[in-house]
Structure 1
Amino acid sequence: MKFYPEGHLIDRAENKAAMLNAAALSDAMRDARILEARSMICDNEHNLIVDLKCMRGIIPREEGALGIREGTVRDIAIISRVNKPVCFIVTDFIRDAYGRITAVLSRRKAQERCMEQYISRLVRGDVIDVRITHLEPFGAFADIGCGIVSLLPIDAISVSRIDHPRERLTVGMDIRAVIRAKDENRITLSHKELLGTWKQNAERFRVGETVAGIVRSVESYGIFIELTPNLAGLAELKENVQPGQQASVFIKSILPNRMKVKLVIVECFDYAYKPEPPVYFFDGDHMDKFIYSPPESEKHIETIF
């Protein structure tokens, strides 16, 4: 079975079919299938109420996430799922005093299965599909399967440095990531290795072109302009240029042996831009190493997984 970040199953035909009526839901319970539906309420006891269309579902607090029962995960992991898809396994049906049937659900059991059959088998260098869940100044958190979250540190998002993950990513964005480190089942992600080498990015440009960029930093010796998330060039100093501005830059030279792109700023201006979906140069499922620097470069920059 393939495991997905939460939200991938909810609109699939087989998921919808499992919630057409009580009989279909009962079949799903018998087969212990992982389903998804939208949680509507977190009650005052931190139980999640889930809309199953054919009936109401409830995820008791201790079944809301791995670690809640043990006290290693805070209740915000449950509260934050309101109005979002949640995965679960149907474990029981109960009837209230008015004869109404409620399905008892367990998100924890779905996560346990994901951990045992998928996450525990991942190794460093594996490339996986993830979904961004929230952003912090130090990095992005991503759902790697069934709502289990891992950290993508800010310095691993791209080669070109950024001040905040929101400059690259948005909540709900689906991206690919590589397993950078694994301590038991605690995983740290990386992303920059999938965005191409210096040479792959530099080959997208030609000397004499005027292209778009983003001002990343202003130093005493020049201004760093990001051309792609994995490629920046150095422009000559110019007055009234601020980090974060958009720039039009003339490409003066491209020097692979020194890993340098020399630029001249034509114009800078303020512009509120939104992150674009990443462009990937690697489409495999595993990488043993990533060499960013070109062969003729004086520097050697390599990541070994």
Structure 2
Amino acid sequence: MREHVILAESAGFCYGVQRAVDLAQRTAEETRGCWMLGDLIHNAHVVEDLARRGVRKTADAGALGKGDTVIIRSHGELKEVLDALEEQGVACVNATCPNVCRIQKLVAQAEQEGRQPVIIGEPHHPEVRGLASWCAHPLVFDGPEAVKMWLAENPKNRETPVTVVSQTTCIRELFETSWKIIKKECTNAKKFDTICNATHKRQTEAASIAGKVDVMVVVGDRKSANTKHLTEICMRRCPRVLQIENADELSPDFFDGCSVAGLTAGASTPAGIIKEVYATMSEEIKAAEGKEESFEELLNQSIKTLNTGEKVTGIVTAITPTEVQVDVGAKQAAYIKLSELSDDPTAKPEDIVKVGDEIETYIVRVNDVEGYAELSKKRLDAQKVWENIENAVEEKTVLEGTVTEENKGGIVVSVKGIRVFVPASQSGQPRGADLSAMIKQKVQLRITEVNRARRRVVGSIRSVTDEARRAAQEEVWNNIEVGKHYTGTVKSMTSYGVFVDIGGVDGMVHISELSWSRIKTPSEVCKVGDTLEVYVIGFDAEKRKISLGVKDHSVEPWDVFMGKYSVGDVANVRIVKLMTFGAFAEVVPGVDGLIHISQIADRRIEKPEDVLSEGQMVDAKITAIDEEKKKISLSIRALLAPAVEEAEEEAPVEE
């Protein structure tokens, strides 16, 4: 059956919009009525439906007070409005798209770092106005011409450190063109690609469909920026483009002479409206065709002409020990040899296809005399893989493969049956590392070079790992705060502390923060590769330095000691330092006591090391506790010679 309307897979609600609508509906049910500031999303039908559910609309945030609940729209809100709502005691349910929240943080962080935030987008759009409010002096440009004007105004602008972001629904070409100008002219420019992936996918798919159809229909609210951008993109590829809000706006005249039409929709368009438009379009196009095709015409159209080298789709009708038979709607009988079914010689045909399956194949040979056609699924699969590999270079797609061997100068990764050479420098491993250890590992990589004629493909694992590392580092720096806890991994050790990876960023734990016990080297308590629970003591975002701690300061060692021991108790202690006048011993981690030289043995000794050594465990009696000065006197002698007179003067505690 011929397809009259091609519907974009990405049409309709994106994740952020769906999340906002779900939050609003749920909040309305839980609170028995709540508010939204302006339209929650750019779609009048959805806003009306929310109103029926108890989500009332107001444009005056100042009219709300304690006891009210307000939903913050998916585009985000002005920071000063959010601050005012908090002061008024209004309960806020933040339905701002997570992508928009990320840009708000980037803009605020840029200004904190002394950089000039630059936003590429529509200056009057609610999202852009909201983003701009997260810094004191934003610059908003609607495209490359505005960027050029700013640079021309003052030569010193070129020396300004800038951080460039974009509206989530910005047309990619507009953003990239603006960035190229800034990158070329400015001496210190940083870019964050903040165009929503769903938006980019939607725009790319719309452009692709528009280039294949006679008519293109775009559905969405007229106030929606992403719908307007979709319309602009489609108009570049299709001569007849119509933007509508619902099926009522469709006219039969619009589809005159149209045999196939395309349909896409903005991110704020609900599925019900899309479905209604799709059905109406299909009926209008059928009616516009204006005639019934004869049985003979239908029969002739149903019989395909097969040509060697073309793709053909058919239905599996039988599976035999030697071949798979396929009905391709042609006069010739078509079949696939088992050797042409799959690259895997051990694969069973019934595991790959089943009777009744639709299968796309490549025509190897057509024999009109004997009335058969040889097909190949394997060759078509290989062709598709090569096409995907070639597209991956342009689109910088991340692919997954398995390392199969170590080669001269690098490794080989199998990506869907294609051998991809990865140079050692792009393997993501340190120089001189044993690359054979990577064999059989699954890895992610980007394709950097393809020569299909020579069947040569080169890739890079490092570009993916570096990007992931940078993303992880940005995540850490965007959310780090004093007191925050992390589970980290010990990366390296020095005499004065250890460096711990807390997610792509290394922080330093000074030796004094590793343990309450006295230690001489970090190796006494940890080693490279160990997992440590750490918390942030302090950080310098500009210098990219983080100080971490391991010791739990919520537990005071002296309180632990006092809760466990009293004068007269015997403790098993560790000798931590030998002095001329005695030895210091650890009673509990972080609390030491003094064993005076006169209390080490039941005889006179010249120096403590004649009897004791550092690290030695001994039993000692607690003879005195000075709570005010937090000092403890210990005695080994008291356990060796219990008959010593109690009246004997205690040796003073020294340090």
Task: Tell me the TM-score normalized by structure 1.
Answer: 0.54
Give distance in 1, aligned partners of 2:490 and 2:435.
14
Cα 1:100–1:80, aligned 2, differ >3 Å: closer, same or farther?
A: closer
Contact 1:215–1:226 at 8 Å: present in 2 too? yes
Q: Which residue of 2 is the match for residue 230 of structure 1?
A: 590
Contact 1:159–1:229 at 8 Å: present in 2 too? yes
**Matched residue SS, 1:177:** strand
Establish whether residue 263 from structure 1 lines up as the match of residue 634 from structure 2. Answer: yes
Establish whether residue 200 from structure 1 lines up as the match of residue 564 from structure 2. Answer: no
Give distance in 2, aligned partners of 1:244 and 1:235.
14
Contact 1:50–1:59 at 8 Å: present in 2 too? no
Deviation at residue 246 of structure 1 after TM alignment: 2.5
Give distance in 2, aligned partners of 1:236 and 1:122.
47
Amino acid at match of 2:525: R
Deviations 1:219-260 (A, max 9, x none): 233311123332222222234212222233323334332212
Contact 2:488–2:503 at 8 Å: present in 1 too? yes
Cα 1:131–1:253, aligned 2, differ >3 Å: closer, same or farther?
A: farther
Contact 2:499–2:508 at 8 Å: present in 1 too? yes
1:153 aligned to which of 506, 510, 535: 510
**Matched residue SS, 1:192:** coil
Cα 1:256–1:60, aligned 2, differ >3 Å: closer, same or farther?
A: farther
Deviation at residue 156 of structure 1 after TM alignment: 2.2
Deviation at residue 197 of structure 1 after TM alignment: 0.9
Q: Which residue of 2 is the match for residue 270 of structure 1?
A: none
- Report the identity percentage: 17
2:620 aligned to which of 249, 254, 257: 249
**Matched residue SS, 2:628:** helix
**Higher share of residues assigned helix:** 2
Establish whether residue 175 from structure 1 lines up as the match of residue 175 from structure 2. Answer: no
Spell out the pairing of 1:47-86 with structure 2 (5 A cutoff). 61=425, 64=428
**Matched residue SS, 2:467:** helix
Cα 1:220–1:44, aligned 2, differ >3 Å: closer, same or farther?
A: farther
5+ long unaligned stretches in structure 1: 2-22, 66-74, 268-305
Deviation at residue 44 of structure 1 after TM alignment: 9.3
Cα 1:62–1:101, aligned 2, differ >3 Å: closer, same or farther?
A: closer
Cα 1:217–1:60, aligned 2, differ >3 Å: closer, same or farther?
A: same
Cα 1:63–1:100, aligned 2, differ >3 Å: closer, same or farther?
A: closer
Q: Report the count of equivalent residues.
A: 220
Establish whether residue 127 from structure 1 lines up as the match of residue 485 from structure 2. Answer: yes
Contact 2:516–2:551 at 8 Å: present in 1 too? yes
Amino acid at match of 1:264: S
Give distance in 1, aligned partners of 2:436 and 2:588.
36
Q: Which residue of 1 is the match for residue 234 of structure 2?
A: none
Give distance in 2, aligned partners of 1:44 and 1:266.
71
Contact 2:558–2:591 at 8 Å: present in 1 too? no
Contact 2:538–2:547 at 8 Å: present in 1 too? yes
Q: Which residue of 2 is the match for residue 187 of structure 1?
A: 546
2:444 aligned to which of 71, 90, 103: 90
Deviation at residue 51 of structure 1 after TM alignment: 12
Cα 1:165–1:49, aligned 2, differ >3 Å: closer, same or farther?
A: farther
Deviation at residue 129 of structure 1 after TM alignment: 1.8
- The higher relative CO (CA closer than 8 Å, separation ≥ 6) is in 1
Cα 1:153–1:115, aligned 2, differ >3 Å: closer, same or farther?
A: same
**Higher share of residues assigned strand:** 1
**Matched residue SS, 1:109:** helix
Give the CA RMSD over aligned residues: 4.8
Of 119-128 and 89-98, the range deviating more from structure 2: 89-98
Amino acid at match of 2:618: A
Q: Which residue of 2 is the match for residue 118 of structure 1?
A: 476
Amino acid at match of 1:227: V
Amino acid at match of 1:256: E
Cα 1:222–1:230, aligned 2, differ >3 Å: closer, same or farther?
A: same
Give distance in 2, aligned partners of 1:232 and 1:51.
61
**Matched residue SS, 2:560:** helix
Larger Rg: 2
Cα 1:79–1:101, aligned 2, differ >3 Å: closer, same or farther?
A: closer
Deviation at residue 178 of structure 1 after TM alignment: 2.4
Give distance in 2, aligned partners of 1:81 and 1:100.
19
**Matched residue SS, 1:118:** helix
Task: Tell me the TM-score normalized by structure 2.
Answer: 0.28
Deviations 1:113-137 (A, max 9, x none): 1111123421233232222233221
Q: Which residue of 1 is the match for residue 495 of structure 2?
A: 137
